[in-house]
Structure 1
């Protein structure tokens, strides 16, 4: 690579390739809880939550009629009992709540309107620290009222690019740059 112009093109392409890899780590998804059914009664949120792989940085959007529902982030014991007199970590009441999954951990959500949580307006998820295609583990069982059954047969509607996808894209970009 004696030609300075060719060396400049190659350097530019390598910078693009590295930036492409960095974007992979910074990508986050926005999920509307319940998809088109939104945050409402009569939805199986256990099934909904198993369709996706949640990661740190992702955002959950709870859309609902403000006078009919709310969104509480709670502890696991409050999730299981549906008693929001204790164990409430955050209250959201706007009707268009956006909750960012800020750390890798288990998150538990309920509607605090009497009867709604026990009626199924609750779910738990695991936010992982990195993008992965593994299914989240189901919530642990206890003697308290069990959450709705989780069905793992739902297809993942929104798919993140895997590491292999990025390697193929980067390799193709480098090849195009070399031809350029």
Structure 2
């Protein structure tokens, strides 16, 4: 008699874990673009493991580099790059509790403000 109850509790936990994950469009309605303030945008939300970041932009005009902190600070994407995205509709799952650093590596965009970092917490 206890087995069905445990099974349903397990299903509820699996469902709730998926239900709390959020999808965040970077920059909200401004998207990943030179006109947005990504520092302010990233402070509006709490990011958790399992959430997804969506970077929407015109392919070829921007890109997304996940980088280490030193690369984020220097805006020099020639070193310290963990991953690159260039599709114009990049979806990045936040799969670890840690800091994530992102820049646009198109000439001058990072120094112009197309960068941000987030601190992802356990859900």
What's the TM-score, normalizing by structure 1? 0.61
Q: Is the aligned partner of 1:81 residue 2:74?
A: yes
CA distance in 1 between partners of 2:70 and 2:113 (Å)? 16
Q: Is the aligned partner of 1:25 residue 2:10?
A: no
Q: Which position in structure 2 is the counterpart of 1:94?
A: 87
Q: Which position in structure 2 is the counterpart of 1:117?
A: 110
Q: Which position in structure 2 is the counterpart of 1:41?
A: 34
Q: Deviations over 1:132-177 (max 9, x none)?
A: xxxxxxxxxxxxxxxxxxxxxxxxxxxxxxxxxxxxxxxxxxxxxx
C-alpha displacement of 1:15: 5.5
Secondary structure of 1:97 counterpart: strand
Of 43, 49, 56, which aligns to 1:50?
Answer: 43
- Deviation above 6 Å: which 4+ runs of structure 1? none
Gaps (5+ residues) in structure 2? none
Secondary structure of 1:54 counterpart: coil
C-alpha displacement of 1:67: 1.7
Q: Which position in structure 1 is the counterpart of 2:122?
A: 129
C-alpha displacement of 1:57: 1.3
Q: Deviations over 1:10-62 (max 9, x none)?
A: x66x7645533443334311111011110000211111111111111111110
More strand by share: 2
